[in-house]
């Protein structure tokens, strides 16, 4: 690779990172954090917490599952072979920008049928997932199919997926600040078979 191409790539990466961060800051200004805060009692009162999302939203929720586990909660990622059946008293946190992803909607249907609480993270409150949910957390980000770049210059649902990760980290930080457990105690739950 020539030095010129390397410099152009470096400039492009820097500019794109700045754009991504600016979009996330702009999105954060549009979020109703009082609505988001309603999730905290659901987390605190759940017997067990299940998380489900497809693709990159699912990866973001895997990160959230790890942090909630560090906090000492009983957490499962739906679809893993060791995930037990969901039941009454449990919480399902489901992320789908459109609220129409069939696997996510079906999981929400099953959870609701058992008496579990469903909380959705989505871009819309008018979807099959929203209808099944006791709580819908709205992230006003672009959906995967929004190719017009009116909400985000990023590809597909990238802004939504990033916001799911950042928002769930902020929720964890809020829970942790209220609890006050030292980081050293949380760290004892960190995976040691790495």
The domain ranges of the chain are 32-187
Query: Which residue in 161, 184, 185, 194 is the catalytic one?
Result: 161
Helix-helix angle 3-30:158-179, to 10 degrees: 60
pTM over 0.85: yes
* pLDDT, tens digit (0-9, with 9 covering 90-100), for 127-162: 999 999 999 999 998 665 565 667 888 988 899 999
CATH number, domain 32-187, options 3.30.70.100, 3.40.50.10490, 3.30.70.370, 3.40.605.10: 3.40.50.10490
The whole-number pLDDT of residue 3 equals 83
The C-alpha angle with vertex 79 and arms to 77 and 80, in degrees rounded to 5, equals 70
**Strand partners for 135:** 119
Exposure of 138 in the CB half-sphere (CA atoms within 13 A) = 12
Verify whether residue 29 is a known catalytic residue: no
Has residue 69 got a pLDDT over 70?
yes
The whole-number pLDDT of residue 56 equals 94
């Amino acid at each position: 690779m020539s030095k010129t191409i390397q410099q152009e790539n470096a400039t492009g990466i820097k500019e794109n990172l700045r754009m991504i961060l600016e979009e996330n800051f702009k999105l954060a200004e549009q979020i109703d954090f009082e609505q988001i805060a309603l999730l905290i009692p659901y987390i605190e009162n759940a017997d067990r917490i299940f998380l489900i999302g497809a693709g990159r939203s699912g990866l973001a929720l895997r990160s959230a599952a790890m942090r909630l586990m560090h906090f000492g909660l009983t957490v499962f990622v739906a679809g893993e072979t060791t995930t037990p059946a969901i039941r009454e008293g449990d919480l399902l946190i489901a992320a789908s920008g459109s609220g129409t992803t069939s696997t996510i909607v079906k999981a929400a249907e099953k959870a609701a049928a058992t008496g579990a609480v469903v909380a959705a993270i989505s871009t819309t409150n008018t979807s099959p997932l929203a209808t099944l949910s006791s709580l819908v957390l709205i992230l006003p980000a672009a959906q995967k199919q929004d190719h017009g770049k009116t909400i985000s210059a990023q590809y597909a649902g990238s802004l939504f997926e990033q916001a799911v990760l950042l928002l769930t980290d902020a929720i964890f930080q809020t829970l942790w600040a209220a609890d006050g457990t030292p980081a050293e105690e949380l760290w004892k739950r960190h995976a040691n078979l790495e």
